[in-house]
Chains A and B, each alone.
Chain A
Amino acid sequence: DTGVSQDPRHKITKRGQNVTFRCDPISEHNRLYWYRQTLGQGPEFLTYFQNEAQLEKSRLLSDRFSAERPKGSFSTLEIQRTEQGDSAMYLCASSPPGLAPLGQFFGPGTRLTVL
């Protein structure tokens, strides 16, 4: 039984560069979420997919951010023209289908450092 995986685990980039992160959810989970967590804070919601449809985007997700889940399996989160304020841990989570939320299962995160 494999959990949620994320790649890469760490990314260091220079300001202005583009970065892309990947998330592979638990196989039977149809819902996938992206969160951002800065030091000493709780995770903040960025966006949410049900299968391949992106159902909600946070105001935190500026035009420089885009997320996809093309076949309803893995998802990518791209940040264009990175800024130092983008430095954070980016968390992916997935949850199974059903009306009652059983809880979201989180991956290990991708830590982004923008120099």
Chain B
Amino acid sequence: AQTVTQSQPEMSVQEAETVTLSCTYDTSESDYYLFWYKQPPSRQMILVIRQEAYKQQNATENRFSVNFQKAAKSFSLKISDSQLGDAAMYFCAYTGTASKLTFGTGTRLQVTL
């Protein structure tokens, strides 16, 4: 079975600074996809960024980028120029041949002035 681990329950970053959220996963599948989702307080889950395992190039979406290390089974999210609106729970998620998503336990990101 696939597992996703987020070892940082909480992180804090100052506005305009950069923060990196960690995620590791375990799988025996060769073809899979990884995602980061953002869940603001009392609001719905939003897809932040997506990475295909067969692509060596790291995905980037505006201020959000990933560091995908396939051999190490690591998939970290970097948020640059942090904004107050980035404060949320961030979930790392995996999907392989099955369509379902397997989520980590999440990292709560605080953004301070």
Chain A residues close to B by CB (< 8 Å): 31, 33, 35, 40-45, 48, 50, 55-56, 58, 91, 93, 95, 100-109
Chain B residues close to A by CB (< 8 Å): 4, 33, 35, 37, 43-47, 50, 52, 91, 93, 95, 98-106
- Assess whether A101 is in contact with B33, with CB atoms less than 8 Å apart: yes
Shortest beta-carbon distance, A110 to chain B, in Å? 11
Instruction: Assess A91 versus B99: contact at CB under 8 Å? Given A42-B104, A100-B52, A103-B50.
Output: no
- Assess whether B35 is in contact with A42, with CB atoms less than 8 Å apart: no
Shortest beta-carbon distance, A69 to chain B, in Å? 14
- Assess whether A42 is in contact with B103, with CB atoms less than 8 Å apart: yes
- Assess whether A103 is in contact with B45, with CB atoms less than 8 Å apart: no
Query: For residue A40, which residues in chain B have a CB less than 8 angstroms away from its CB?
Result: 105-106
Query: For residue A104, which residues in chain B have a CB less than 8 angstroms away from its CB?
Result: 47, 101
- Assess whether A108 is in contact with B43, with CB atoms less than 8 Å apart: yes
Query: Could you tell me the distance between the alpha carbons of A45 and B93 in the complex, rounded to whole angstroms?
Result: 12
Query: For residue B33, which residues in chain A have a CB less than 8 angstroms away from its CB?
Result: 100-101
- Assess whether A41 is in contact with B47, with CB atoms less than 8 Å apart: no
- Assess whether B95 is in contact with A56, with CB atoms less than 8 Å apart: no
- Assess whether A31 is in contact with B99, with CB atoms less than 8 Å apart: yes
Query: For residue B105, which residues in chain A have a CB less than 8 angstroms away from its CB?
Result: 40-42
Instruction: Assess A45 versus B102: contact at CB under 8 Å? Given A100-B33, A102-B50, A103-B35.
Output: yes
